[in-house]
Amino acid sequence: MKRKIWWQIPGALPVSKKITLQSQYGPVGKNWWTFRFVSVLEEYGENGRLSRAKHCARNGFGNAIRIGPGEMSMGICCSGTATRPVGLLFPRFPTEVWDMVIDTITSDAALTGSLITGEFSQDLVDTLEQKEIFLIPDQYRSVRAYCHCSDDQNPCIHIAAAWYFLAEILDEEPWMLFLLHGMRREEVISRVQTIRHQASHPAFASDEIPETERKTGIPEMYDTRSFFSCIGDSDEVRHPVPERKVSPIRLLGPAPYRLGGKNLLERIEDLYPIIQAYAKGEMDRMREKLFRQRNR
């Protein structure tokens, strides 16, 4: 089995491990987003320095890589053993921009699907850029870079080498672009799912009784105010609990997840008869035990 490279393993970003570029010749990158990311550097930087930066990243090494919200830092060594600390600071999106990102994804089923399945969509990048939100920097100067070498040009060969290293990381994990702007993909997914669920299953107003509840006495699905007891905002039971058997979990409606090809609701519902039988058996044993104790 082919072994995963280091940045594909969560939490495995190397601190002391020495790495070189995977691409040992030609352009850096395999995917469209990497080419666009690299082009931001190469359209700005001086060709001689960029050539030396590639040589440095391929024949020297990088280490101490750290990626967090809004920043990436690492050590770059072009010759010998000493490394120069290099940092790239990306613009962190403010709250209102992240709200726009979430709303854009939430309102488009295709974008939501690509986010959840992990397919990095060009439509997502292009749609956000139409709103002047740039996951991939639109220009090199939008990223602040630092290196303490004697070269007063930006990018110097060390900064450019770090950019190429980051490009190869994004080649394998493009969703780190979210992290570089301040939010993890998992948090984006959570917010998108919450908003879509609330939109498709709005809560009823406290003084409303849904039609199905009036007719059957069974609380409307997703209306968790009356789960189990049918009690609403007041402390009074507005309708008697129906005589027909209704699995309590059914009152909450389909779950937003699937397990083994089935909705999670169905998986959980299958446990109710087993739990009921177990509880009944335990109750019978307790009654029998009490009966024996009383008749000794």
What is the per-residue pLDDT across 155-170, written as a single tens digit (0 to 9) for each?
999 999 999 999 999 9
pLDDT value, residue 241: 43
pLDDT value, residue 123: 94
Average pLDDT of the chain is: 79
Whether pTM > 0.85 for this model: the answer is no
101 has pLDDT over 70: yes
Give the helix ranges, DSSP H, for the chain: 32-42, 47-59, 95-106, 109-117, 122-130, 157-172, 176-180, 185-200, 211-216, 264-269, 271-294
Work out the pLDDT band at 202, boundaries 50, 70, 90: low
Mean pLDDT for the stretch of residues 138-146: 94
Q: Which of 243, 203, 207 is nearest to 224 (CA)?
A: 203
Cα–chain center distance at 283:
45
pLDDT value, residue 242: 45
Mean pLDDT for the stretch of residues 198-223: 54
pLDDT value, residue 82: 83
Q: Is residue 162 within 8 Å of 86, Cβ to Cβ? A: yes
pLDDT value, residue 9: 45
- 230 vs 138 pLDDT, higher one: 138
